[in-house]
Amino acid sequence: MAKYDAVFFDLDGTLVDTAPDLAYALNQVLLEYNKSPLPLETIRPVASDGSPGLIKLAFGISAEDPEYTTIQTRFIELYRHHINRESRLFDGMENVLQTIEKAGLKWGVITNKPAFLTDPLMQALKLNQRASCIVSGDTTANSKPHPDPMLFACNASAVKPENCLYIGDAQRDIEAGNIVNMDTLIAHYGYLKSTDQPETWQAKATIYKPEEILNWI
């Protein structure tokens, strides 16, 4: 008897390693502005923060800066064009998904990535037909850590939150899951920053590789 009815994943840094493509797009913009590209290991911990975090890292500016919108537009344009250049499921994740499916459980994605980026990526990786739901950052009026996306995913998958497991690599993921009484796991293999304190996030446990998810289902 399975412990859960559904397993939900954050996308970037949990289900899929998208950092190489985000880094590629960001570095192309840097080169266009005659700035030196950044190494992947510098960009990786910020990959879950979307364009605001990545632009802050690379250019040291925020949305209030006059150049921000131009830089952000160009970054997103490049990322959309190269969204599946190197992005792949994390090692071992395909086995996890197949095991979930063979057990007759549902799985889905709950991400803060906007749908115009989430949907093409899921389609390119041939995951869109396998997922019971794909909830993007703009699917509901509020994004994580608000509970709305979590409840939307449960409704779409016809499951109760307390019968679900959610895995994410950011504090907002764990907070959102905990609010609706999902069991939560921290994907430590994802895009955690050196300043993060995951031990304070009140997750059920921390996992260090995708295969460890199988110990929970």
Q: Which residues are marked as active site?
A: 10, 12
Q: Report the alpha-carbon distance of residue 44 to residue 198 in Å, rounded.
A: 17
User: Under 8 Å CB-to-CB from 179, ≥6 apart: which residues?
Assistant: 145, 147, 150
Q: Could you say which DSSP state residue 206 is in?
A: E
Rounded Cα gap, residues 126 and 145, in angstroms: 27
CB 133 within 8 A of CB 33: no
Q: Which two tokens stand for residue 72?
A: 């952000």
Ramachandran sector of residue 92 (left: φ over 0; alpha: ψ -120 to 50; beta: rest): left
| CA-based nearest residue to 50, from 70, 28, 86, 75 | 75
